[in-house]
Amino acid sequence: MTNQKKRDWYGPTPGLLTVLVTVLVACGLMPLAAADVSVTRDLPDEPVYPGTQITVTLNQTGFYLTGVVWEILPDGFAFKGIAPGSGGEYMAYDRTTNNLTLGFRDQTTVRYLVETGTADQIEGAVFSGTWKTTDSHLNKLSGAIHGDRTLTLGTGPEPTPTPTPAPTNGGGNGGAVTPTPTTTAAPTASPGLSPTPSSAPTASPGVVTPTPTAAPTPAPSASPTARPGIPGFELIVALAGLIAVAQWLWRRSS
């Protein structure tokens, strides 16, 4: 068998294996490098009022590991912190320029709180911002934040939130109402004559009550007892029989 045949028998060469591994790795990284990267802003749809807090939501897609966003808040608005329960990281906030810097870390959504300004500032408010991240090859990527940019000013008095009604009786048992126990009065005996117990009947004079007499009980008679036999009688008879048989056999043989 030649060297070429041995090589074909044992499989591909190390060089061919290296090429296959490289192609597989490149195919695995291609979707990451070609993925679309974007950040979208979501503002409240309902009207907002002066001096109230609103929640701004940022959603990212395509970030590799992490990314950073820079938001420019409208004039008269103020950053109040990350919303409760939201991921992400607060990095910096400049009150003079109203520039806010947030990090996504490994999150896809970040929510932060903003206090609105006056009515005129709400009508003219415009949000803007940019983002920056890297791809799987650590190449820098950046772009503008898309989505909602303006708000709707609420007119008239600000609506008061409706309080949640407290659970009624029996709320601890899944909302079932527990009936209230009622007291039932015990019956009271009305005054009156109590029945008098009657006396036991007495025998009339002159009448003799016969006294029962006991029937005679027959005395038990003694049962006959068997007399004991002679001890060892059966054994003596058996031995005598054996001796007789032995003598008969001895005489016959002689």
Name which CATH class applies to 38-147: mainly beta
E strands within 171-240?
none
- pLDDT for the residue numbered 238: 76
DSSP symbol at 59:
E
The one-letter amino acid at 219:
A
Q: How many CB atoms lie within 10 A of CB 125?
A: 21
pLDDT beyond 70 at 246: yes
Q: Report the chain's mean pLDDT, rounded to a whole number.
A: 74
Task: Indicate yes or no: pTM above 0.85.
Answer: no
More confident residue, 193 or 156: 156
pLDDT beyond 90 at 132: yes
DSSP symbol at 213:
P
Domain ranges of the chain: 3-34, 38-147
Q: How far, in Å, CA of 161 to CA of 167, rounded?
A: 18
pLDDT beyond 90 at 186: no
Q: How far, in Å, CA of 206 to CA of 211, rounded?
A: 15
Length reported for the chain: 254
